[in-house]
A and B are shown apart, each in its own frame.
Chain A
Amino acid sequence: KNEVEQSPQNLTAQEGEFITINCSYSVGISALHWLQQHPGGGIVSLFMLSSGKKKHGRLIATINIQEKHSSLHITASHPRDSAVYICAVRLDFGNEKLTFGTGTRLTIIP
């Protein structure tokens, strides 16, 4: 079993829909990252969080440390949001390694 699990693996939605992508992890962590990867490979860091909630534009990330679960929400989705969204965790302080989920492929249809 992977230490980081994402769901769904693939998600197709209509433009304007509210999107939720989930991430669950099985070990204690010091921080969780949400990343966006477009075709061609480049990765953009969206959020790094260790508690609570962060918001940037139409993106919202939440984390529940007790339940070992995080969600990434996209409001008013747009075709340009189409990408692979990856959850990654840092296992503990002093451990620099990021452990990644396999990603959620999001497609927004106009």
Chain B
Amino acid sequence: DAGVTQSPTHLIKTRGQQVTLRCSPKSGHDTVSWYQQALGQGPQFIFQYYEEEERQRGNFPDRFSGHQFPNYSSELNVNALLLGDSALYLCASSPGPGGYEQYFGPGTRLTVT
């Protein structure tokens, strides 16, 4: 049973560029949450997707957007990259939106230069 997978593992982008990160949830899970973890900090909630809609959003600008596909996989898009967007981006899945335990993927490390 595959757990949560994320791609790519590492990514280097230049300021002003756009990036797309991908997440496949654990089998049987239909809810995906995205988190940003800056170096030395705890993760910060970006948003959660359920039934292909953004269900809840954290305190992130509109440059951060997402999408969920019918197979429950999800993408995180970041436009107009800033140096401060450099972080580990974590995806977590759960078997529903209602307070279930979340299972985390290995993360995508984004470096903006």
Chain A interface residues (CB < 8 Å from chain B): 4, 30-31, 33, 35, 40-45, 48, 86, 88, 90, 93-103
B88 & A41 in contact (Cβ 8 Å cutoff): yes
How many inter-chain contacts with C-beta < 8 Å in the A-B complex?
Answer: 63
Contact yes or no, B56 A35, CB < 8 A: no
- Among A30, A93, A94, A98: residue with most chain B CB under 10 A: A98
- 5 A-B pairs in the complex with CB atoms less than 8 angstroms apart: A4-B42, A94-B98, A97-B48, A97-B58, A99-B45
What is the interface residue range for chain B against chain A? 20 to 34
**Chain A nearest CB: distance from B29 CB in Å?**
13
B105 at the interface (CB under 8 A from A): yes
**Residue in B41, B56, B109 whose beta carbon sits within 8 Å of that of A41 in the complex:** B109
Contact among A4, A45, A95 with B102 in the assembled complex (CB-CB below 8 Å): A45
Distance, CA A35 to CA B105, complexed state (A): 12
Partner pick for B99 among A43, A88, A90, CB 8 A cutoff: A90
A62 to chain B, nearest CB (A): 18
If A44-B104, A45-B104 touch, does A100 touch B42 (CB 8 Å cutoff)?
A: yes
Is B24 positioned at the interface, with any CB of A under 8 Å from its CB? no
Given contacts A96-B97, A97-B58, contact A42 B104 (CB under 8 A): yes
Q: Is the CB of B42 within 8 A of A42?
A: no
- Residues of chain A lying within 8 A (CB to CB) of residue B35: 98, 100
> By CB atoms of chain B within 10 A, which of A4, A42, A101 has the most?
A42
Known contacts A33-B101, A86-B42, A42 near B106 by CB under 8 Å: yes
